[in-house]
Amino acid sequence: MNHDGIGNSCGTKGHEAAKLMAAHITANTNPFSWSACSRDYITSFLDSGRGTCLDNEPPKRDFLYPAVAPGQVYDADEQCRFQYGATSRQCKYGPCPSGARDFREKQCADFDNMPFRGKYYNWKPYTGGGVKPCALNCLAEGYNFYTERAPAVIDGTQCNADSLDICINGECKVTNVL
């Protein structure tokens, strides 16, 4: 059975978008439904009689779970580095050490290599008056303007520098410090 776009027109420009059998997942992929190509392939396979192995009872095998959980193999700091880069780390208790890069600062800097109105800027966080605390507002360094680069910061970003409250799904949530 071929992937969408491999030996067929599904998922190619000007044709039906790639779906469940997409060779690569993109923003336009719908991984929860079958394309016409894949429906034809699977129907042909089953109609050929080669799919009878799907009717038999599978052997009973217990899954052997690893001796240690993923969180024990990779601690929170290492998982943070995988997700956000080699210099990232989790700041477990209160504010990060001085000199550590602010998470909101990193999110703004991610837009440095993307043109904005035809130009490239270095972006710094803007948390001044009148902006939503969980929107990603960034100031163009050396210029006198800021813009909302994303409607919501990444979950876990501090709402503001003066509290430990964090943004979840675009809303500021109170954190309880024990």
Work out the pLDDT band at 43, boundaries 50, 70, 90: confident
Low-confidence winner among 59-68, 71-80, 135-144 (lowest mean pLDDT): 71-80
Q: Where are the domains of the chain?
A: 1-57, 103-173
Nearest to 41 by CA among 5, 17, 69: 5
Low-confidence winner among 5-19, 43-57, 67-81, 148-162 (lowest mean pLDDT): 5-19
Give pLDDT tens digits for 116-126.
999 999 999 99
Instruction: Please return the burial class of 30, using the count of CB atoms within 10 Å of its CB with bins 0-12, 13-18 and 19+.
Output: middle
Global pTM reads 0.49
pLDDT above 60 (res 127): yes
pLDDT at 178: 45
Q: Which two tokens stand for residue 3?
A: 């992937």
53-57, 120-124, 170-174, range with greatest mean pLDDT: 120-124
